[in-house]
């Protein structure tokens, strides 16, 4: 039997980080839903801030995890991708809609794949891995949708981004709550 406590700590000790990423995604989705007529520059700014927040929290969780685990590199890579997407987006807030769609697509596909890989690798070691996998599936489906319809109207893009952010955020919140309850039950 393998030592599952090494990988469990990656998520259990950082349940608050997962929960905060979910709250940030829900807040982003709500903002976009309430103001769907945002200009492209404002939508770019909101996405950039969210991607940067998501990336920083993922990277911090990977770096400051007290236990050495094999899965830390996935979380660190997810963090680097989020930071990269956030910085690139924030450096050029007047980006056109097509460039925004490409940045969001690249972030969604890479992060979605990493989330599914994390869920598969940790499926026997954490509770709530389904929420991790579902958040990845939502991002990949969102990425495919962007790829199929890259020239959507900005308002349509805002609605789609808001819906994806809300679903992703809710799955992250559910995972964070599940991890918190597992950690408290083990204490």
Q: Kindly provide the b/e burial profile for residues 46-59, where b requires at least 16 CB atoms within 10 angstroms of the residue's own CB.
A: bbbbbbbbbbbbbb
- In the CATH hierarchy, which fold is given to the domain comprising 5-186? 1.25.40
Kindly report the number of other CB atoms within 10 A of residue 3's CB atom: 9
3-state secondary structure at position 61: helix
- Domain ranges in the chain are 5-186
Kindly report the number of other CB atoms within 10 A of residue 113's CB atom: 15
CB 93 within 8 A of CB 48: yes
3-state secondary structure at position 116: helix
Distances from the Cα of 149 to the Cαs of 44, 102, 111, 152, in angstroms? 18, 11, 20, 6
pLDDT in tens, the chain (187 residues): 344 444 445 555 677 788 888 898 899 889 888 877 766 667 778 888 888 998 998 888 888 776 656 678 888 888 999 999 889 888 876 665 677 778 788 888 999 999 899 889 877 777 778 888 999 999 999 888 888 876 665 567 778 888 888 998 999 899 888 888 877 776 6
- Dihedrals φ, ψ of 125, to 5°? -115, -20
Q: What is the spatial distance between Cα 110 and Cα 10, in angstroms, rounded to a whole number?
A: 20
86-121 pLDDT, tens digit per residue, is: 898 888 766 656 777 787 888 889 999 998 998 898
- Give residue 154's pLDDT: 58
CB 58 within 8 A of CB 76: yes
Q: Kindly provide the b/e burial profile for residues 83-94, where b requires at least 16 CB atoms within 10 angstroms of the residue's own CB.
A: bbbbebbbeeee
- Give residue 97's pLDDT: 62
Q: What is the spatial distance between Cα 141 and Cα 91, in angstroms, rounded to a whole number?
A: 27
Q: What is the spatial distance between Cα 184 and Cα 187, in angstroms, rounded to a whole number?
A: 5
Which helix H or strand E contains 132, and what residues bound it? helix 129-148
């Amino acid at each position: 039997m393998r030592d599952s406590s090494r990988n469990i700590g990656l998520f259990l000790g950082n349940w608050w980080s997962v929960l905060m990423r979910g709250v940030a995604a829900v807040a982003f989705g709500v903002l976009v839903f309430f103001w769907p007529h945002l200009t492209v520059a404002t939508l770019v700014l909101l996405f950039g801030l969210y991607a940067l927040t998501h990336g920083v929290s993922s990277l911090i969780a990977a770096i400051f995890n007290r236990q050495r685990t094999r899965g830390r590199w996935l979380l660190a890579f997810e963090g680097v991708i989020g930071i990269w997407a956030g910085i690139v987006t924030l450096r050029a807030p007047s980006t056109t809609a097509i460039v925004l769609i490409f940045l969001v697509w690249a972030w969604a596909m890479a992060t979605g794949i990493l989330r599914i890989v994390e869920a598969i690798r940790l499926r026997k070691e954490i509770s709530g891995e389904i929420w991790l996998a579902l958040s990845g599936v939502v991002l990949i489906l969102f990425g495919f949708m962007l790829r199929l319809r890259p020239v959507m109207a900005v308002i349509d893009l805002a609605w789609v981004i808001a819906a994806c952010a809300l679903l992703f955020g809710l799955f992250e919140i559910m995972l964070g709550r599940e991890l918190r309850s597992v950690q408290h039950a083990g204490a």
